[in-house]
Structure 1
Amino acid sequence: MTSTIGALDFSPEMQQELIENTTDNLHWWYTNPDQGCHLKCTLDGRIVGVILVKKFWNLCSLFVAPGYQGQGLGRALMLAAIDQCKGKSEKQAIWLNAAPNAIPFYQAMGCISRSSSKQALPQGFSAMQFLL
């Protein structure tokens, strides 16, 4: 049995891995709040989007609730994170691994491909970067 998130199908194992990764990233931010950028977008008192950039270069989470996608919230979060990471990123860039359905979004934001020799990515994912 698989579940669809966005336009992607995930096995139960992949779902669990995504949940654990997100939980680990939030724990990292909670214990290192000054070593990264964590922003949220709220509407009517409800969180509808979040972004987390660890160490000001590792974009590890960008989520917008499905009912709010396509309204510019992801773009606004990304632009705000870029602004906060400028001058703080040791790589002078923001690195990310884009899911297949997110690649056009990141390309439109100005992200370009980068090599990812240290990490095997799931099929269809792309290692990308935004140069600061």
Structure 2
Amino acid sequence: MSPTAPTTTSLSPDWPCQVKSPGSRDWERTATRWLRDLLPARYAGYSPLVRHHVLLARHAQIQVQHEIRAVRVALQTSRAELPTLGVAPAVIENTIRMYAMELEQLGRLARGVRLVMEALMDDGPTSRRTTAQRR
């Protein structure tokens, strides 16, 4: 196997299917596209996030964490607050199920972002420099 050939290690089940395996051709491009899609559109023009993939991953991680907190609050307050808004009991139950499913999805996203961020850090120039310094 040549030193530039992609590794064939198995990926975690939490690895996003939209992102190619680390080491494969264009994997970083697919990772940054996926990470950008997790952020509000207005962030696409911020040059630090566009130029520095690890910063993009960090911001996506923070964004997903905030979404998790928001959904948890919505879930925890549904039974108390939705009736006062005139929402029917059946709709409240469906809303609670929706929030629970969204929390699961956000948990998977958070794990995926963490994995992609770690892979980007492993592939970055600082990790190579650190590895070379240890030798």
User: What is the TM-score normalised by the length of structure 1?
Assistant: 0.27
Relative to its length, the structure with more helix (as a share) is 2
Structure with bigger strand share is 1
- The two structures have a TM-score, normalised by structure 2, of 0.27
